[in-house]
Amino acid sequence: GRLGRPPGLAVVQVGEDAASSIYVRNKRKAAAEAGIASFAHDLPAATSGSDLLALVEQLNRDDRVDGILVQFPLPKGLDATHVMDAIDPSKDVDGFLAANTGLLAQKRQALRPCTPHGVIRLAAAYGIALRGLRATVVGASNIVGRPMALELLLAGATVTVCHTGTRDVQAEVARADLVVAAVGKPHFIPGDWIKPGAAVFDVGINRDAAGKMVGDVEYDRAAERAGWITPVPGGLGPMTIAMLLANAVQAADRLAVLAHGVAEGAVFEPAGEPLLAALQRGLEAEGGEGVADGGGRVAGGVAGDLAPDLAAAALDLVRPPKTRVAL
Ligand code: GUN
């Protein structure tokens, strides 16, 4: 690129939560595969709040770092809200910060939360027109459910959000043309709740009693009824990582515009190995062995065009939909 450096992504992990370690490894690997410079910071579980904030401040100031991701959950005693409030919003590649959530709520989306954005991009790629659809989001967390509802609203759906106070979750799911499950409980949504032909996006990554990785939706039975359904593993997992990398490149581009006054989209020129192919290999390797070295590759692509390509790459890795049923 014209900057003479690739986009940079810092991924911070505190402690050794087993699931987090897998997610973090996959994110770093995909970044390196895509030619994004990956800065790994692994801190002990006993790290103090002030030491963690000091690291965030240092990354905020580091010109090589365009994106900062602090993996959640944090160990007990560390306050996620304090950490988020310390990250520079222009480097918030998770899209978790109050500033970025607020912009999304006002239809002024900047860096968008990765999983919800991934759902929207998958829907677009499969030709699911969201405007006017009845959408039910199950789960109201700050990192998936709430921003998911905002994304669907932005896309013109009529949105219901289910949470612990919801009286009849089954009824809300059963009338939905589109369901997003973001609960974090294995098979929380029985397949026979799904309306025939509905689109089902399963964000859950859980272990069932036998230790097998399963989603929040009872997949086999739901797949008999749904028009579209994302698998676990392999659906929103890789899609989330693709959106993270897209955010890192978008952040790099915007920061370069600010720092160098060049036109947006002009900084990271196509160069070296195409980002897309590298990303695809990175995602294929997800959960597998082949770790790539990121070895000095230059990021290719122009930020403005990049995200659709990333989505397309991730899409190829999602199992093809079953029969498509008109909603
Ligand atoms: N924990 C679970 N999912 C995520 C994510 O997308 N980003 C971060 N930072 N932490 C998470």
Report residue 314's pLDDT band, with 50, 70 and 90 as the boundaries: very low
Average pLDDT of the segment spanning 89-103:
97
Q: What is the pLDDT of residue 259?
A: 77
Ligand 1 mean position, distance from CA 19 (Å): 10
Ligand 1 mean position, distance from CA 262 (Å): 32
pLDDT surpasses 70 at 206: yes
Ligand 1: residue of 11, 70, 94 to mutate (most ligand atoms within 8 A of CB) is 94
Q: What is the pLDDT of residue 43?
A: 98
Q: Which of 13, 29, 66, 71 is catalytic?
A: 71
Average pLDDT of the segment spanning 22-29:
92
- Mean of pLDDT over the chain: 81
Report residue 205's pLDDT band, with 50, 70 and 90 as the boundaries: very high
Rounded-to-integer distance, Cα 127 and Cα 43, Å: 43
pLDDT > 90: what percent of the chain?
60
* Annotation says 27 is catalytic: yes
Ligand 1-lining residues (CB < 6 angstroms): 69-72, 94, 114, 143, 240
Q: Which residue has the higher pLDDT, 69 or 275?
A: 69
Q: Which residue has the higher pLDDT, 315 or 226?
A: 226
Q: Which residue has the higher pLDDT, 67 or 3?
A: 67
**pTM of the model as a whole:** 0.83
Q: Of 112, 149, 114, nearest to 134 (Cα)?
A: 149
* Annotation says 71 is catalytic: yes
Ligand 1 mean position, distance from CA 23 (Å): 8
* Annotation says 29 is catalytic: no
Report residue 69's pLDDT band, with 50, 70 and 90 as the boundaries: very high
Most confident of 6-10, 47-51, 118-122, 237-241: 47-51
pLDDT by residue (tens digit) across 252-299?
888 877 777 665 555 554 333 344 444 444 444 333 222 222 221 112
Average pLDDT of the segment spanning 59-87:
97
Report which protein residue has its CA nearest ligand 1's atom 8: 71
Other Cβ atoms less than 10 A from the Cβ of 6: the count is 29
Q: What is the pLDDT of residue 292?
A: 21
pLDDT surpasses 70 at 320: no
Report which protein residue has its CA nearest ligand 1's atom 9: 71
Ligand 1: residue of 25, 72, 91 to mutate (most ligand atoms within 8 A of CB) is 72
Rounded-to-integer distance, Cα 66 and Cα 52, Å: 18
Average pLDDT of the segment spanning 31-54:
93
Report residue 178's pLDDT band, with 50, 70 and 90 as the boundaries: very high
Average pLDDT of the segment spanning 171-185:
97
Average pLDDT of the segment spanning 212-230:
92
